[in-house]
């Protein structure tokens, strides 16, 4: 069940990360086991590795062109690889570059690399340790997603930009080490924060704490910051928080209660997806929209009242909420997405205003409704 949940959430997450756009007429060049493209500066970017090596040293040049980038999905799903050395000619590791390299236990990243892209090492489940060199300034969204063997990682002072939770679903990652004088990042009680914009980036999954209080003065909670933290039963969010990112609490299967402060104006896509123990939630009047899959598979949610300022409810917002018996929708709602209440098998009535958009939606979709 846990593995299935991880896969489902991962698919939802992947859909939210845009793919790079290449020219429709692009022709890749070949050299040995590699396909590559020529970049604008005349250097080469590895586009695809077609070999089956277990131990690999990536070449520093292809056809006399310096290799400066490991491109999008270049080594994706190379399951034979156990160790790899990146040459010091490389400055960029692209999105999904080593994603799905399930047997990879060791990788050497040179001091020349300045950027690690989104999902670069996603699903490298055998990777036990990795050293991020002092040259790196950027770590992309979910760069180490589901690297289940990682237990500790150090972020150097050179890092100036960290994408939303680079360590999502790292189930054994106990700590991210950050120096006290780091210019942009800090850990507070083991939780990773950005100093510059006061956002909560990452909460460690292995923590045994059942409750957590987000520190005062935190302004935002990142995209999937608590993704898969299934030990937590309760979270307190201060009213300093103005935004909560997509997937922020997705997969928090033990989460029973949470209060969204009045400072928040929207519930983003899949924010509470698969929070299977969530029995009730109060949505403040300040919220104006509820995103796609916001509460999908919240199996214990019994009743919900949509506040009077909400104008839109996204696709599959409450799909598979099979304990849901009652929903109240105000006449301010003018948009309800497809399958918003699909497979809510115990939904007995949706309270609507006469002649409202919600009433018409219920009639068109064969949903039970009653007037306010």
Strand locations in 42-180 (E) = 44-49, 55-57, 61-62, 65-70, 83-85, 92-93, 106-108, 115-116, 138-139, 152-154, 161-162, 175-177
Phi, then psi, of 107 in degrees rounded to 5: -140, 135
Cα–Cα distance, 313 to 217 (Å, whole number): 29
Share of the chain above pLDDT 90, in %: 90
Residue 14 has pLDDT above 90, yes or no: no
Q: pTM (2 decimals)?
A: 0.89
Around 112, how many Cα atoms within 13 Å sit in the side-chain half-sphere?
A: 16
* 226 burial via Cβ count (<10 Å: 0-12, 13-18, 19+): buried
**For residues 270 and 292, is the Cβ–Cβ distance under 8 A?**
yes
pLDDT digits (tens, 9 = 90+) for 190-199: 999 999 999 9
Q: What's the pLDDT tens digit per position in 246-302?
A: 999 999 999 998 989 999 999 999 999 999 999 989 899 999 999 999 999 999 999
The structure tokens listed for 52 are 């089956």
For the chain, how many residues are written?
A: 372
Q: Is the pLDDT of residue 310 over 70?
A: yes
Query: Which residues contact residue 239 at a Cβ distance below 8 angstroms, ignoring those fewer than 6 apart?
Result: 261, 262, 263
Q: pLDDT tens for residues 34-60?
A: 999 999 999 999 999 999 999 999 999
Nearest CA to 283 among 244, 316, 231?
244
DSSP three-state, residue 7: helix
Q: Express each pLDDT in 189-225 by its tens digit.
A: 999 999 999 999 999 999 999 999 999 999 999 998 9
Q: Report percent pLDDT > 70 for the chain.
A: 93
Tokens, residue 57:
């040293």
Weakest-pLDDT range from 7-11, 98-102, 151-155, 277-281: 7-11
Whether 112 and 91 have beta carbons less than 8 Å apart is answered as yes
- Which residue is it, tokens 């790079």? 20
Query: According to the model, what pLDDT value does residue 19 have?
Result: 59
137-174: pLDDT as tens digits: 999 999 999 999 999 999 999 999 999 899 999 999 99
Looking at the predicted structure, is the pLDDT value of residue 22 above 90? no
Please report which confidence band the pLDDT of residue 21 belongs to, taking 50, 70 and 90 as the band edges: low
Strands of the sheet with 234-236, listed across from one edge:
211-213, 234-236, 257-259
Quick one: pLDDT band at residue 5, thresholds 50, 70, 90?
low
Query: Given this model, what pLDDT does residue 26 score?
Result: 74
pLDDT reported for residue 27: 84
Does pLDDT of 1 surpass 70?
A: no
pLDDT above 90 for 74: yes
Instruction: Write down all domains in the chain, each with its CATH number in brackets.
Output: 1-6+27-173 (3.80.10.10)
CA torsion, ordered 334, 340, 342, 346, to nearest 10 deg:
-80
Mean pLDDT value across residues 340-365: 96
Give the pLDDT confidence score for residue 2 in this predicted structure: 52
Q: Is the pLDDT of residue 16 over 70?
A: no
For the chain, the straight-line distance linking the first and the last C-alpha, in angstroms and rounded, comes to 39
Arithmetic mean of pLDDT over the chain:
93
Higher pLDDT, 32 or 24: 32
The HSE-up count of residue 135 (CA atoms within 13 Å, CB side) is 14
Q: Which element (helix H / strand E) includes 300?
A: none
d(CA 145, CA 117): 12
């Amino acid at each position: 069940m846990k593995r299935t949940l991880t896969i489902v959430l991962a698919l939802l997450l992947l859909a939210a990360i845009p793919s790079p756009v290449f020219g429709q007429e692009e022709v890749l060049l070949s050299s040995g086991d590699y396909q590559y493209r020529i970049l604008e500066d005349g250097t080469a970017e590895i586009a695809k590795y077609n070999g089956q090596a277990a131990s690999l040293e990536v070449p520093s040049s292809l056809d006399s062109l310096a290799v400066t980038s490991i491109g999008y999905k270049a080594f994706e799903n190379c399951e034979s690889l156990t160790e790899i050395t990146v040459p010091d000619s490389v400055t960029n590791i692209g999105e999904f570059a080593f994603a799905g390299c399930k047997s990879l236990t060791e990788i050497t990243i040179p001091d020349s690399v300045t950027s690690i892209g989104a999902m670069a090492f996603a699903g490298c489940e055998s990777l036990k340790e990795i050293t991020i060199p002092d040259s790196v300034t950027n770590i992309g969204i979910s760069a180490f997603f589901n690297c289940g063997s990682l237990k500790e990682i150090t972020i150097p002072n050179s890092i100036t930009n960290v994408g939303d939770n680079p360590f999502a679903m790292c189930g054994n990652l106990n700590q991210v080490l950050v120096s006290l004088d780091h210019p942009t990042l800090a850990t507070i009680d083991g939780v990773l924060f950005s100093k510059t914009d006061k956002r909560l980036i990452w909460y460690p999954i292995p923590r045994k704490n059942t409750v957590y209080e987000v520190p005062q003065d935190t302004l935002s909670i990142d995209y999937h910051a608590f993704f898969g933290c299934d030990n937590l039963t309760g979270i307190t969010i201060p009213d300093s928080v103005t935004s909560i990112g997509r997937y922020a609490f997705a997969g928090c299967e033990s989460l029973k209660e949470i209060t969204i402060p009045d400072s928040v104006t929207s519930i983003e896509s899949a924010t509470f997806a698969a929070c299977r123990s969530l029995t009730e939630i109060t949505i403040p009047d300040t919220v104006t929209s509820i995103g796609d899959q916001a509460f999908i598979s919240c199996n214990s949610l019994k009743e919900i009242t949509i506040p009077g300022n909400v104008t839109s409810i996204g696709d599959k917002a409450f799909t598979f909420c099979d304990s849901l018996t009652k929903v109240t929708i105000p006449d301010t709602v003018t948009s309800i997405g497809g399958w918003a209440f699909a497979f809510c098998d115990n939904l007995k009535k949706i309270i609507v205003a006469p002649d409202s958009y919600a009433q018409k939606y219920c009639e068109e979709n064969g949903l039970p409704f009653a007037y306010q």
